[in-house]
């Protein structure tokens, strides 16, 4: 992936690039500098600043996004979490899988899908010749564990949605697979039954989106695994079509 200068700095943890309007000594210590996207010109002081909570989530790169989520107090789920769980995987993925929210094990380990449902997800990935670190990113509708592993409330998903939206904008996967109803609600804002949404190609910001069952549901309903496999094959076809269409675009 070729990165812009700003993206490279972000990967190194030294963005946003801040350029002071005036010499630093002319400003009160509390005055916010202006974030700019173009490279700083010579002789203009460049400082790395922690992202203030007032900086919009949709402008954050990975280091700031990670820090913002880790410190998030936007909904009551923060009160009982051990840690927020942003996501895991390749930052230049073909596939993005979105689950519901961290469970007890994820809350401890800080990584999504590390419990029984995660083992099944890993097996599903392996069946597609994929792995969570290779062309795959795994995230969740909410980043903090709902107490007792209950389904996240609509207000909690709404509070967390900007993070997921920013992740998708940064990742630009070639296909998004929504695992279960919470993920469908978070990305497609749709509350219809999964059965009625499976097998259809949706779009989010021009990216194909496919709906399937959550692995935890599949563990309780083993015969449905065949349907999930069909959904993954459908997602792979959508990905290949998107990739083929993309490669035909003029450079």
- Interface positions with ligand URA (CB under 6 A): 99-103, 106, 112-113, 117, 140, 216
Q: How far is the CB of 246 from ligand URA (least distance, A)?
A: 29
DSSP string, 155-215: HHHHHHHHHHHHHHHHH--SEEEEESHHHHHHHH---S-HHHHTT--EEETTEEEEEE--H
* Other residues' Cβ atoms within 10 Å of the Cβ of residue 14: 14
- Give the residue with the Cβ less far from ligand URA, 16 or 173: 173
Angle at 132 between CA 246 and CA 79, to 5 degrees: 110
Min dist. Cβ of residue 53 to ligand URA (A): 25
To ligand URA, the closest distance from the beta carbon of 138 in angstroms equals 7
Judged by beta carbon, residue 57 or residue 178, the one nearer ligand URA is 178
Nearer residue to ligand URA within complex by CB, 88 or 239: 88
CB nearer ligand URA, residue 132 or residue 135: 132
* 99 vs 208 by CB, closer to ligand URA: 99
Minimum distance from residue 3 beta carbon to ligand URA (Å) = 28
- Point out the residue whose Cβ comes nearest to ligand URA: 99
Side-chain half-sphere CA neighbours of 94 within 13 A: 18
11 vs 224, beta carbon nearer ligand URA: 224
Alpha carbon 23 to chain centroid distance? Answer: 38
**99 near 138, Cβ under 8 Å?**
yes
- Distance in Å, CB of 212 to ligand URA, minimum: 13
- For residue 15, give the nearest of 45, 44, 47 by alpha carbon: 47
Contact yes or no for 132/89 (Cβ under 8 A):
yes
- Residue 88 forms beta bridges with which residues? 138
> Nearest approach, Cβ of 57 to ligand URA (angstroms)?
20
State CA 13 to chain mean position distance: 18
* Minimum distance from residue 219 beta carbon to ligand URA (Å): 11
Q: Give the SS3 label for residue 134.
A: strand
Nearer to ligand URA, 51 or 156 (CB): 156
Pick the closest to residue 151 from 141, 161, 159 (CA basis): 141
């Amino acid at each position: 992936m070729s990165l812009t200068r700003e993206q490279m700095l972000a990967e190194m943890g030294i963005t946003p690039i801040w350029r002071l309007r005036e010499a630093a000594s002319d400003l009160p210590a509390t005055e916010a500098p202006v974030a700019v996207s173009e490279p700083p010109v010579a002789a203009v002081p460049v400082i790395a600043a922690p992202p203030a909570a007032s900086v919009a989530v949709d402008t954050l790169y990975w280091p700031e996004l990670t820090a913002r989520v880790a410190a998030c107090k936007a909904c009551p789920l923060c009160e009982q979490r051990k840690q927020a769980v942003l996501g895991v995987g390749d930052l230049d993925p073909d596939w993005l899988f979105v689950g519901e929210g961290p469970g007890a094990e994820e809350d401890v380990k800080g990584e999504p899908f590390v419990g029984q449902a995660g083992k099944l997800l890993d097996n599903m990935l392996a069946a597609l010749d994929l792995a969570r670190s290779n062309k795959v990113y795994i995230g969740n509708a909410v980043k903090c564990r709902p107490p007792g592993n209950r389904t996240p409330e609509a207000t909690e998903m709404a509070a967390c949605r900007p993070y997921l939206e920013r992740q998708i904008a940064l990742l630009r996967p070639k296909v998004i697979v929504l695992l279960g109803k919470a993920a469908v609600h978070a990305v497609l804002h749709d509350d219809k039954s999964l059965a009625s949404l499976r097998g259809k190609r949706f779009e989010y910001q021009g990216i194909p989106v496919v709906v399937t069952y959550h692995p935890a549901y599949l563990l309780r309903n083993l015969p449905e695994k065949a349907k999930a496999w069909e959904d993954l094959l459908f997602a792979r076809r959508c990905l290949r079509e998107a990739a083929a269409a993309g490669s035909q675009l003029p450079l």
